[in-house]
Every structure is written in structure tokens, then in C-alpha cells.
Amino acid sequence: MSKQQTRRPGAIAFNAVILGFSLFMFWQAYLISGFSALSSPGTFPMAMSAIMVLTSAGILIKSLGLSSPGGGFTGFRKEILPPIVLLFSLIILAFSLVLKPLGFLLASFLFLLSSIWLLERGRFGRALLLSVVSIIGVYVIFRLIFQVVLPEGIIPERAIISTIGDYFSGRH
């Protein structure tokens, strides 16, 4: 990132939150064992949170001195949080929520389909094809070759895989 003379939109708010968080953590660190001894469990956390307080205060003061980027909320939306990032974050959130109940295969497929569809700007056929290919690739590499345990959910994949295995080994 190149050096900039104007601050980024929202920089003051962010740095202030960081300072507030550091102060809170310092207070919490103090509550562990106070100033009882240099080797107490709370000393190191207190030292670290004190460093956080000092540096974040310095950063906040410095960012107050930089000139305003202008543009208000529009600038913030353009530079820091474009709609696509926000939308994407919501999709990931939804994916994490349904991962366990729906299972890896279905949840991942829906996640890939919706996110590729979004990024491909509406070409549904292409998105469908790409997500099917990707999900098969991921499944083969991670589930079958690397043997990673993935949440099964509502598709009985283990049963399907073992049926296929039985079929090929002639036990059918």
C-alpha cells in the first residue's frame, strides 16, 4: 500500500474502536492478578495490552492529523466496503450456518452456485457447470484422497460411496 497523505474513509472510527478494545483488554488483564507480582499470570497480558493501548493511541492521534478523504459515506462504501464484499460476507455467513444441518455436499454446492453466479454477473448455466466441476474436484481431493471427515448432513454419501465400492469389488 502506498503512502497516503489523506486518511482512508472510516480510519478514525476504526482506530478509535481499536483503542477502546485495547483499553478494555488492559482492564481485563488487570483483573487477572493486578500488580501482585512480576511473575503472576496477569503480568504478561497486562504488558501486552499496555503496548496495545500506547500504540493504538499513537495511531489514532496520527490519523486525526491527516486530512479528511471527503466523500462521506459514499467514499466509505466505494473504498472500504463495496456492496459485493458485504453481500459475499452474508453468503459465507449463511454457508457456515447451514454447513452442519445440510451437510458438506449440499451446503457447499449451494454456496458455490450462488457465489459464482453472483461473480459471473448472472450467467447461470456457466455458474452451474463451474460449481458442479469444483464440488466434484474438492470432494475427490479432500474427502476421498485426503480422507478428511466432512459433515455429512442429509445426503447419505458414505452409504453411496460404500455401495459403489461394494459394487466394484464384486460384493454386490
Partner 1 sequence: MDAFSYLFASWLQPELLALTALGTFAGIYIGAIPGLSVTMAVSILISFTFSWEVNHALALMNGIFMGGVYGGSRTAILLNIPGAPAAIATAIDGYPMAKKGEAGNAIGLSTVMSFFGGFIGIAVLAVAAPAVSEFAIKFQPRDYMLLAMMGILLVGALSGESLAKGIFAGAFGMLLGTVGLDPMTAEQRFTFGSVELMNGISSIALMIGLFGVSEALLQLHTLHIPAIKQRVDKIIPSLADLKKYLPLSLQTSAIGVIIGALPGTGGDIAALMAYDHAKRVTKNPEVPFGQGAKEGLVGPESANNAAVGGAYIPMLTLGIPGDAVTAVIIGALFIHGLNPGPLLLIEKPDMFWFTVGNLTLANFFMLIFGLTGIKIFTRIIECPKSVLFPLILLLSVVGAYSINNSVSDVWWMLGFGVLGYFMKLYGYQVGPIVLGIILSRLMDDNWRRAIISERESLPAFFTGMLSSPLSATLFVAIVLILLGQTPLWKRFKARGLAVPEKS
Chain contacts with partner 1 (rule: CB under 8 A): 1, 3, 8, 10-11, 14-15, 18, 22, 25, 28-29, 32-33, 37-39, 41-45, 48-49, 51-52, 55-56, 58-59, 62, 79-80, 82, 84-85, 88-89, 92-93, 95-96, 99-100, 104, 108, 111-112, 115-116, 119-120, 130-131, 134, 138, 142, 146-151
Of the pair 55, 163, the CB lying nearest partner 1 is at 55
Query: What's the per-residue H, E or C state across the chain?
Result: CCCCCECCCCHHHHHHHHHHHHHHHHHHHHHHHCCCCCCCCCHHHHHHHHHHHHHHHHHHHHHHHCECCCCHHHHHHHHCCCHHHHHHHHHHHHHHHHHHHHCHHHHHHHHHHHHHHHHCCCCHHHHHHHHHHHHHHHHHHHHHHCCCCCCCCCCCHHHHHHHHHHHHCCCC
CB of 115 to partner 1, least distance (A): 4
Of the pair 87, 160, the CB lying nearest partner 1 is at 87
Of the pair 18, 155, the CB lying nearest partner 1 is at 18
Of the pair 14, 157, the CB lying nearest partner 1 is at 14
CB of 38 to partner 1, least distance (A): 5
